[in-house]
Amino acid sequence: MEKLKSSGRINNRRSNIELARILMMLVIVRHHFACYSGLSFADKPFGLNKMWFMFIRNNGKITVIVLLLITGYFLINSTKIKIDKLLKLWLQIFTYSVLVYLVLCLVGGAKFGVKAFVSSLFPITTDQWWYASTYIFLYITSPFINKFLTGLDKKSYQKFLVIMTFFWSILPTVYTSTFFVNKFVFFIYLYFIGAYLRLHFDMTKISSGKAFFIAGSIYAVVYAISLTMNYMGKYIPALSGERRALTLIEYQKIFTLTIAVFLFIGFMNLKIKNNRIINTISSASFAVYLIHDQQNMKEFLWNTVFKPVNHADSKLFILYTIGVVLLIYSVCTGIELLRINFVEKQYMDFLKKFSVRIEEKIDRFYNSKIFDKF
């Protein structure tokens, strides 16, 4: 394990960004606790548990946007696909797709079926995890996207973002229509914003404290409005329902985007020393998502193991939520660190050598006369 901690892959990470990854993934796990556990406070009296439920459910979208802004910011200068990175990511996804499914079949958390097993062998094309599938496709196309973005001057880039923000964030805030935006297109839009912040925006003008304050203030207002809508729903039918009260903080809402951007700036400007513990824990954050959000695992965790619906009326509901989230995060992190140390490091040298050969062949293919004809 010491060898893992001292590796360059861990030490070269920026701890402020790695801390952001950890916190964002914790919020995502907490968000899934609320979304997939069958919890509903629609018919329950307005109280602390209900307020907490709305809090943990309506900020998961913010964290996904922050993570995509990080991707755009750090990937914009990439000019080619790194095959070893792509294969390492795919192998990680493949491992957990097959392993989690088979383990759950053994312990009774899932029923074995040929179709389901074959599906687990192709996790990207069968969309086992929507985020993972979309991210890989985004990474594969990123060199071409980057070439387009870096070719734009600052004013053209700004106009481009204004148009996209109007159609894909402002209008969806006012209306319920998403204007034909699927997840991949929206990922690209967020990637564009992260890349813009790297290419044309001086983030040092906004201190970390100020950025966090702005993000927190906007969220507090939106959260207060959501609580008010939920409370007033018993008097005004048009405002009734948990989903209606939570719509202000969905993906394509200007509030969600603004909060995420300022959170990102806050973490970027956060002054902390390089920390091996933070960096090591963060290196497992993606696996936390893969393990706990696997299709069969979601059903097993929330409806068989923890059963949050049985604790909805408990006075310890908030503490129970925090404990479950920390337990899931800790166990998944431990599993991933073991995989990195005892499995991944066994094939990484070969993977890097193999990838160099593949990249050379791809470069020769792109530089061949075949493309000259086009």
pLDDT number for residue 234: 67
Cα–Cα distance, 128 to 97 (Å, whole number): 8
H helix runs in the chain, sequence order:
2-5, 8-11, 15-36, 48-57, 60-75, 83-107, 114-121, 130-150, 154-165, 171-174, 183-199, 208-232, 242-246, 254-268, 276-282, 285-292, 295-300, 317-339, 345-366, 369-372
> Under a CB-based contact definition with an 8 Å cutoff, are residues 284 and 333 in contact?
yes
Q: Which residue matches tokens 């629609």?
A: 42
Please tell me the pTM assigned to this model.
0.90
Write the CB contacts of 50 (distance below 8 Å, at least 6 apart in sequence): 41, 44, 230
Phi, psi of 228 (to 5 degrees): -65, -45
pLDDT number for residue 10: 57
Cα–Cα distance, 277 to 274 (Å, whole number): 9
Blockwise average pLDDT, block size 10, the chain, 374 residues: 43 86 96 89 82 86 94 93 93 96 94 94 91 93 95 96 92 76 86 97 94 96 84 65 62 91 97 94 97 93 92 94 97 98 92 87 71 56
Q: Which residue matches tokens 């912040």?
A: 197
Largest CA distance in the chain: 72
pLDDT number for residue 6: 39
* Chain CA centroid to CA 287, Å: 11
The closest of 109, 35, 168, 27 to 300, measured between CA atoms, is 109
Cα–Cα distance, 58 to 73 (Å, whole number): 25
> Under a CB-based contact definition with an 8 Å cutoff, are residues 193 and 69 in contact?
yes
Write the CB contacts of 2 (distance below 8 Å, at least 6 apart in sequence): none
Q: Which residue matches tokens 């002054």?
A: 271
pLDDT number for residue 240: 56
**What token pair was written down for 93?**
């996804």
**What token pair was written down for 271?**
């002054």
> Under a CB-based contact definition with an 8 Å cutoff, are residues 255 and 218 in contact?
yes
pLDDT number for residue 371: 55
